[in-house]
Chains A and B, each alone.
Chain A
Amino acid sequence: MLEHQEVLIKYIDFFIEKDLQNLTLNFSDDSFLYFTIINERIFNIHGLAKDYAKQISELREDAANNNIDSYEYYDLKNESFKTKESVTNSSTIKKIKEVEIDNNDQAESVEEEPREIDEEELQNFRERLVLVLDKAKTVFDSINDNDESN
């Protein structure tokens, strides 16, 4: 938890230093981490890219209704970081946990069989991708190296 919180605080410090209104990080596994400031509180949420708009919309609605127990946030007024653990016993969290358990049950019941992959096609694709990326990387890096020498 401490490590997780330390990383978040670094991003929150960055957010404050640059005077940002929104900050989004997107990762290769199609997940995102989002920071935003609402009523002097810097919220952070994370999830899958496909749920990005929905989660942000929910956050804004919850913040407008002050229903924020289930969010981690940094309070600029009190200069304090509120973790999910600090609100674990709230009724909102209990409700969320119940819903999550239900969803997990449902997810297990509708789990699909893994799709069969054509190995040869995959291998060909990998080889083509590596060639293109290697070439691009060499060119991009040489541009930056040349920037320095110029």
Chain B
Amino acid sequence: MKEKKQINAFFKEFATQYIPGGYIELFDPQKITKEHMFYGVPTELNCETVEMETKDKHYLFRKISDKSFLQISAEKRTYNAGILKSISKKVVKELFALIKN
């Protein structure tokens, strides 16, 4: 599918440019496996973003729709949570612009 390829190319290019060594993906929270960091997030509270920090990594999850969340993750030694937040806003903004065009 053209749109899927476009989006994947966009993520790849974006990650290379803004967050080398990091990871960006779009996922459906209903379809992830238990290995995924977002798996098991309690659903009682309907939140816009979820930030997680482990010993070595930062994770940022931003809700786009009920079926689509954006994940950005990177090593702590290279990036902080604020940078991931800024990048996620930029990704969403540019993704919306890509879709509009």
**What residues of chain A have their CB less than 8 Å away from a CB belonging to chain B?**
7, 10-11, 14, 17-28, 33, 132, 135-137, 139-144, 146-148
Q: How far is the CB of B94 from chain A (nearest CB, A)?
A: 12
Is A135's CB under 8 angstroms from B100's CB?
Answer: yes
Taken together as a complex, chains A and B put the C-alpha atoms of A7 and B45 apart, in Å, by 8
28 A-B contact pairs sorted by A residue (CB < 8 Å): A7-B44, A14-B42, A17-B40, A18-B52, A21-B53, A21-B54, A22-B53, A22-B81, A23-B53, A24-B51, A25-B45, A25-B49, A26-B47, A27-B46, A132-B100, A135-B99, A135-B100, A136-B95, A136-B96, A137-B64, A137-B68, A139-B99, A140-B26, A144-B28, A146-B1, A146-B4, A147-B31, A148-B28
Residue in A7, A132, A140 whose CB lies within 8 Å of B67: A140
Residue of B nearest to A19 (CB): B54
Provide the bound-state CA to CA distance between A143 and B1, in Å: 9
In the complex, are the beta carbons of B50 and A143 less than 8 A apart? Answer: no
Give the A-binding residues of B (Cβ under 8 A).
1, 3-4, 7, 26-28, 31, 37, 40-42, 44-55, 64-65, 67-68, 81, 95-96, 99-100
A27 touches B68 (CB 8 A): no
Given A14-B40, A14-B42, A141-B68; A26-B49 close (CB under 8 Å):
yes
Q: Decide: A144 and B40 in contact? CB cutoff 8 A.
A: no
Q: How far is the CA of A18 from the CA of B96 in the complex (A)?
A: 32
- Nearest residue in A to B64 (C-beta to C-beta)? A140
The interface residues of chain A lying within 8 Å CB-to-CB of B1 are 143, 146
Contact A10 B42 (CB under 8 A): yes
- A14 contacts B47, CB within 8 Å? no
B52 touches A22 (CB 8 A): yes
Once the chains are docked, how many angstroms separate the CA of A137 from the CA of B41? 22
Among B44, B51, B68, the residue within 8 A (CB) of A22 is: B51
Please determine whether A27 and B50 come into contact, CB atoms closer than 8 angstroms: no
How distant is the Cα of A61 from the Cα of B26 in the complex, in angstroms? 37
Contact yes or no, A144 B68, CB < 8 A: yes
List 16 extra interface pairs beyond A23-B50, A144-B26, CB under 8 A: A7-B42, A7-B45, A17-B40, A18-B37, A18-B52, A25-B45, A25-B47, A25-B50, A26-B48, A28-B48, A33-B45, A33-B47, A140-B26, A141-B65, A141-B67, A147-B28
